[in-house]
Structure 1
Amino acid sequence: MRGTAVPGIDESHVAQNYHPLPIVISRGEGAWVTDAEGKRYLDLLAAYSALNFGHRHPALIAVATEQLGRLTLTSRAYHNDRLGSFAAALAELCDKDLVLPMNTGAEAVETGIKVARAWAYRAKGVARDRAQIIVAHGNFHGRTTTIVGFSDDAASHDDFGPYGPGFVPVPFGDADAIEAAITPDTAAVLIEPIQGEAGVVIPPEGYLRAVRALCDRHNVLFIADEIQSGLGRVGTTFACDREDVTPDVYLLGKALGGGILPVSAVVGDADVLGVIQPGEHGSTFGGNPLAAAIGTRVVEMLSTGEFQQRAAALGSHLETRLGELVGHGVTAVRVAGLWAGVDIDPAVGTGREVAERMLERGVLVKETHGQTIRIAPPLVIRATELDWALEQLKVVLEG
């Protein structure tokens, strides 16, 4: 594998912990996976950012194994000695007061919607059943019927209605459009700081700061869906950190489960998340001991800053290498840390066709919205592995 050293990246421990194993059937390790036929692939998909720490990270496997020997799933009838430490660690990471643990990303988004509406009625004084939430065109927040009801992606939206009211869509990246949409009934602005499914769409510089200022001025909640963009992916702990912005509510998931199991959470301050009263919301498995143990270890790993640094340094390298392909089968690239949207020249093929050709060459990427492929490798990937994958992309583009 050809590749140069990337400043700020120490690969010595990565080689020890994440070196690809000999072929093992249906197994993942580090940044590699093996299919049922024994063929190995370099994973530049990472389960849509759910595997930020790679496949079978030893620290996460260790804590999961230890917890499996104690107590795994529980209900309110049992004492869960892991939940408190998880909630405290995650609240500290987010600089917030309260954590409401759930299981999946869509469940976190649904919970955030409920919180925003309850806050509007109980704290802001909006008349019952009139609360509105401003959302962005091109969004992807999940696949429940509430969520797809305010999606403008036909594949997600069509033929699943009727849908409920209460959502006002505006163009993504346009703070003026948000301000024009705000009324006395507005409860929240719900956005992805960087839109993932849309093709890693990065808003203009200053957009997040403008959203924060508008929400403060009009007494509206800023809810950031960081399910894909958060937890180290973009070179900072959260994508909102890129503009030194703190939302009122974080929606988290994917990487929070460390690639071991689904874990999600809604995180906010007491005056917001605290509007939910006991018995009004819950989850059979949310915050179970196994999930809490893994989530705690994920937060501990992020607290060192190592993964954020790797994503930033390798992301800069990725951006440089992808930039060399513009005009050579690529029309545009958008990069935030180890997360990239690559627009393919139609003369080369569609995004799906390029993804299939990459698959044949042993690299996993994801097509999205026609001409775009999305790159999101585990943050443990080595620079040499990343370079090798980009060489495969170059070969595919050259036909």
Structure 2
Amino acid sequence: MTGTAPKLAVLVKGWPRLSETFIAQELVALEEAGHRFDIWSLRHPTDTKRHPLHDKLKARVHYLPEYLYEEPGRVWRAREMAQRLPGYAEAYEIWRADLVRDRSPNRIRRFGQACVLAAELPPETEGLYAHFMHTPSSVARYAAIMRDLPWSFSAHAKDIWTSPEWEKREKLQAATYGAVFGATCTGVGAEHLRSLADDPARVDLIYHGLDLSRFPPPPDRAPRTLGSPFHMLSVGRLVEKKGFDRLIQAFTHLPADLDWHWTHIGGGGSRDHLQAQAEAAGIGDRITWRGACDQPEVIEAMRQADLFVLPSRIASDGDRDGLPNVLMEAASQLLPILSTPVSAIPEFIEPGQHGTLCDDDPEALAKDITLLARNPEAAANMAQAARERLVSEFGMAPGIAKLSERLNALCADGSP
């Protein structure tokens, strides 16, 4: 495509975010496919590091008022401008109906941010595309109605499984100013959203995949020698759905003759609690907490490890993983994988063939960790199969081609 591609407004929760590499990967690929867009972020960055992908992106980044009271002048000016837009009255009525069912401050903030977005969008903007179906899509929907523009979204995990059904349904119905299309990155998520849509064709399954050109070739791994130190690695936010509390419990069940060490990479608010759990269990000296790292650091850690462990589970509020990109990143480096059969993880890892999937019960996790540690050749064979599947079935290009087609149609005529 050329520089005449339609101009989009892309909404994200926060920019940049180390934990959302999949979004940066997609947006860089869309730019390379010829799409022109600005990024509109609902929040300012909190991470102190950036991925190299963030620096590759050419799009201009705008920050909406994170909290309305922080920029009252901007908000009130935008509200006055928005009230003169053709769809403001309709957007206001839809928001009021939403507010009756969700009387949270976040719902009020969404409408204020939508007014700012609608007022400040460049006049050449022809469509909106929001990453995540909850808050960013609400802001996109209200602003799109005000500006009489088509909108679309990409749904992932938490936004699907913790949003109320009424809200998801209305965002998937033409009669209620729903999205022209929605993309989601897992088969289980696509099936759920299609069941709520007025037309199942409104929802596309688009795996994020992996752009292998951004990763080094896998290291020349010789099967680990029995009796040598066994290094495990996990990458993920320290939140309930990642299951790291149960993994720490599992470590206490490992056999005494296994010389193991675990490294965790990622941020999150539960670190102090988990560190205290490990210290109380007497295993704190076997654990390294590295905090948030950029992608080159993550990949280097994968190249040094013997096993990637991600004990995902469904959280108490229904939140769960989709298909974590870190599993594909581990596979790219021939790192054996141990995870759980939650959500879409089995869409990539067939147990016994591409890795090991087990219950997140601590004793079950410990049993499978021990089996993998004591059968390095079997682990290496599964890692090889996972990489082959990654290359053959989970490349990024097909998904980007489909998404690009959808976004072009969105801006051309607004039809699904």
Provide the TM-score with structure 2 as the length reference. 0.28
- Structure with max Cα Rg: 2
Which one has more relative contact order, counting CA pairs under 8 Å at least 6 apart?
A: 1
Provide the TM-score with structure 1 as the length reference. 0.29
* Greater helix fraction, Structure 1 or Structure 2: 2
